[in-house]
Amino acid sequence: MDTETVFKSYVKKKDYAGGITREEVLADRDISKIWKLSSNENALGPSPLAQQAIINSLQDIHEYKFRDDHLLKNAICETYPHLTPENIVTANSGIETLELITRAFLSPGLECIISHPTFVAYESMIENEGSKVVNVPLNSDDYTLNVDAILKAVTKNTRLVFITNPNNPTGTYTGKKDIDFLIDNLPEDVIVVYDEVYFHFVDAPDYPRAYDYIKEKKNVIGIHSFSKAYGLAGIRLGYGISTPQIISYIENIKRPFIINTLSMVAGIAALKDKEHLKQTVDLIRTEKKWLYTEFDALDITYWPSQTNFIFIAPNIKDFTTQMLSEGIMVRPCDKFGAPNGIRITIGTHEANRALIATIHKTYSYA
């Protein structure tokens, strides 16, 4: 086969890979206990209601049980009454929602703006549609968006601007004043992809939500996930919100039966479990403050976070390797565009105490 003729020349090997698993860590290390603080998973696990919904539906997995996703959309609308089903497109994870968007709006010759350090998967999605990635780095001091630089980078070929707010991996956010200015000054044919998958953990009073702009019929698509606050990372469920016009167009390219039975029932049940969500958010806010105090005592640089993780810059050589040797899994951020940064998921108090104890031990040998 002549691959130059058959294969698309702009499709590249994906540079993004998820964090290593517990099994991979245990495979070549003699460790009795693993603390996984590397993938921003829910420290409390999934909602008990979601678990029971999955168990109750196992007997139905031989059927195409749901004709479409209207029950999930209705559950989302019950949780967030400002939305209607026409505002929502569902998918198997936030990442697949992003892929639907890039497939819908990108083609060879177009450009997309992203801001490093940020979520790695954006780049491969953009490039696999033949479009160009334009990187406008975050402000280096506080990791907020450089709004003026983004606007200057816009050309006649710009189609999408990716905003991750709060940002992954830094946990920082850009406030409403700057986001307002950016969106108000973009050309009408540019769409903002507003990745807000960590919004449940935000307590900043000036944090803007995607719907603030969607209700004004701005060209904004909000990205949501069930993987973080709802604890369903392994289920792979997410959705996008936007104007009915934009959502209708994205729906045209979505295949039928995209959401499987177990994901559907788990997502609906998780949305109903308000107590589990509250416990999750309360835990993160309490443990975040405790970790700040410990990092201050250790003189470790960190950035205040609006998420369920904290971005640090430890002055310890081979920090990730040393943590792994003690069973602590954290995420190096070189692939995100932050070679000196480490992302640490906020865990249970027991997990966080193990992290701090290991850092103390590492410091004693530094």
**Tens digit of pLDDT for each residue in 120-143?**
999 999 999 999 999 999 999 999
- What was the pLDDT predicted at 104? 98
Q: What's the Cα-to-Cα distance from 234 to each of 23, 45, 46, 92, rounded to whole Å? A: 15, 11, 10, 10
236 in the same domain as 206: yes
206 in the same domain as 195: yes
Kindly state whether residue 9 falls inside one of the protein's structural domains.
Answer: no
170 in the same domain as 98: yes
Please say whether the beta carbons of 267 and 72 come within 8 A. yes
* pLDDT of 50 above 80: yes
Question: Rounded to an integer, what distance in angstroms lies between the CA atom of residue 95 and that of residue 237?
Answer: 9
CA-nearest of 338, 341, 334, 337 to 301 is 341
Q: 271: which residues sit within 8 A by CB, 6+ positions away?
A: 75, 76, 78, 79, 230
167 in the same domain as 24: no
- What was the pLDDT predicted at 364? 63
284 in the same domain as 142: no
Kindly state whether residue 1 falls inside one of the protein's structural domains.
Answer: no
How large is the C-alpha radius of gyration of the chain?
A: 21
Kindly state whether residue 32 falls inside one of the protein's structural domains.
Answer: yes
- What was the pLDDT predicted at 1? 72
35 in the same domain as 54: no
* pLDDT of 27 above 70: no
Kindly state whether residue 14 falls inside one of the protein's structural domains.
Answer: no
pLDDT, mean of residues 221-243? 98
247 in the same domain as 139: yes
Number of domains in the chain: 2
Classify strands 111-114 and 158-164 as parallel, antiparallel or unpaired.
Answer: parallel
- What was the pLDDT predicted at 18? 64
- Tens of pLDDT along 265-294? 999 999 999 999 999 999 999 999 999 999
Question: Rounded to an integer, what distance in angstroms lies between the CA atom of residue 310 and that of residue 153?
Answer: 30
**pTM score, whole prediction:** 0.94
CA-nearest of 120, 119, 116, 123 to 143 is 116
Domain that holds residue 346: 19-41+275-364
What's the length of the chain? 366
55 in the same domain as 25: no
pLDDT interval class at 366 (50, 70, 90): very low
- CATH number reported for the structural domain that contains residue 89 in this entry: 3.40.640.10
Question: Rounded to an integer, what distance in angstroms lies between the CA atom of residue 272 and that of residue 298?
Answer: 41
Tokens of 211: 């719907």
E-strand ranges in the chain read 35-36, 88-91, 111-114, 132-135, 158-164, 191-195, 220-225, 238-241, 301-303, 309-313, 328-329, 331-332, 342-345
Q: Which of 250, 272, 294 is the last residue of a domain?
A: 272
207 in the same domain as 288: no
Mean pLDDT (the chain, rounded): 94
- Tens of pLDDT along 352-365? 999 999 999 887 64
Kindly state whether residue 228 falls inside one of the protein's structural domains.
Answer: yes
pLDDT, mean of residues 16-43? 78
Q: Which of 272, 297, 324 is the last residue of a domain?
A: 272
